[in-house]
Amino acid sequence: MAWKLSFSPITDLSLPSDVFPKPPQRIPIFPRLPLNLCAGYHCSKSISSSARVSVCHAVKEQQVIQSPNSDSTQNNQTDPPASSKLVLVVGGSGGVGQLVVASLLTRNIKSRLLLRDPEKATSLFGKQDEEKLQVWKGDTRNPEDLDPSLFEGVTHVICCTGTTAFPSRRWDGDNTPERTDWEGVRNLVSSLPASLKRIVLVSSVGVTKFNELPWSIMNLFGVLKYKKMGEDFVRNSGLPFTIIRPGRLTDGPYTSYDLNTLLKATAGERRAVVVGQGDKLVGEVSRLVVAEACIQALDIEFTEGEIYELNSVKGEGPGSDPQKWRELFKAAQVQ
C-alpha cells in the first residue's frame, strides 16, 4: 500500500533542559532525527547480492494517516478500538519521533512521552486527552530522571533519540553522540522493567563499518561507534528488542505546529520500501517509513531479536498494511 502523506517543515527543537534531581514529573498538559549519515551517497540502481533485502510494491494506494478533522475522517471513519498497549516514546519531539506519536494517536494507542521540555507536546500534537497521551519530564542522559514510576504500565518502548554526526548547535548542553546515543540509551535500557514486551531502537546504517570509508568520515566524532555501543547494550540486555537502521533520513517533518499539520507529509514517488539485514544497504529512507516500521515491529513476533536496515525507492509501498510489512520483514530474514 502506498503512502499518501503530506508534511510541512519542523523548526529545530530546543535542546536539553535543566538536570532534574527528582523523579520525572507527570505533566498533564495537553531528531527530525538529525543523523544524516549518508549525505552525498545515493542508493544505486542495483543492490549487492550479498545484501539480504526485500522490496514491497503494492498494487494500489491507500491513505495511511488522515487528519482527525478531515471530512473523510468525520464522515467515513470511526475511532479504532482502544489498544491494550501503553507505548513509551523516547525522542518524540524529533522528526521520526513526531511521526511515531502521531501514528499512535490515530491508531488510538495510548502513549507516554519522555521529553526534556514537556511544553513541546502541546505545540506538536495539540491538546490531547491524558487517557491517550501522557507527558513526562525527563532526560535519558540523567539516570535520576528514569524513576520506576515512569515505566508503570508501559508495555512497549520506541526509542528514536539522536543528535547530529558533526558538531552543531544541537550539541549545546552536552547533547553529543556519546551522551545521547550511548549513555542515554544505556541509562534507558538499564531502567526498563523485565516485563516489557518489546523495545524498538532506531539506530543507523553503517554502524558495523565505522572504520571503513565512507563511514569513517561520518564517524569522525564517534556517532556511528556510539550508536553501535547502544545497539550492543540493547542486544545484551535480555529484553525483547528490534533494531531499525535507517539510511539517510528524508522528508518531513521539518516544522509542525499541531497534529493536523504534522499529518500532511508525503514520501512523494519513493514509497516502496527496501528492507535488508547485514548492514549492506546504502541509500536514503523517508522518516515516514522509519516511523511505520517501528510501530509495525511492535506486533510482529518474528521481528524480536532482529536488526533491519531500511531504504526508500521509487514505487508503491506497504503503507500501514500489517501483512505487507510482515512479508517485507520475513523476506529480509530468509534471503
pLDDT 10s digits, 55-75: 443 322 333 333 233 333 333
Q: Is the dihedral of CA 120, 138, 111, 270 positive or negative?
A: positive
- Pairing assessment for the beta strands 198-202 and 241-246 based on DSSP bridges: parallel
Q: Please count the structural domains in the chain.
A: 1
Domain-located, residue 188: yes
Domain-located, residue 18: no
Give the number of other Cβ atoms within 10 Å of residue 314's Cβ: 10
Q: Is the dihedral of CA 311, 317, 319, 325 positive or negative?
A: negative
Looking up residue 263, the CATH number of its domain turns out to be: 3.40.50.720
| Gap between the Cα atoms of 71 and 44, Å rounded | 41
Domain-located, residue 47: no
DSSP run (H or E) holding 97: helix 95-106
Domain-located, residue 318: yes
Cell of 119: 511544553
Q: Is the dihedral of CA 23, 174, 228, 280 positive or negative?
A: positive
Range of the domain at 219: 87-333
Domain-located, residue 37: no
Return the SS3 of 216: helix
pLDDT at residue 126, rounded to an integer:
85
Instruction: Output phi, psi for 52, to 5 deg.
Output: -95, 100
| Gap between the Cα atoms of 219 and 268, Å rounded | 30
Spans of the chain, pLDDT less than 50: 1-79, 255-260
Place of cell 552536552: 174
Cell of 262: 504534522
Domain-located, residue 42: no
Domain-located, residue 295: yes
Residue in 316, 329, 313, 331 with CA at minimum distance from that of residue 44: 313
- Pairing assessment for the beta strands 241-246 and 52-56 based on DSSP bridges: unpaired
Residue in 190, 160, 197 with CA at minimum distance from that of residue 85: 197
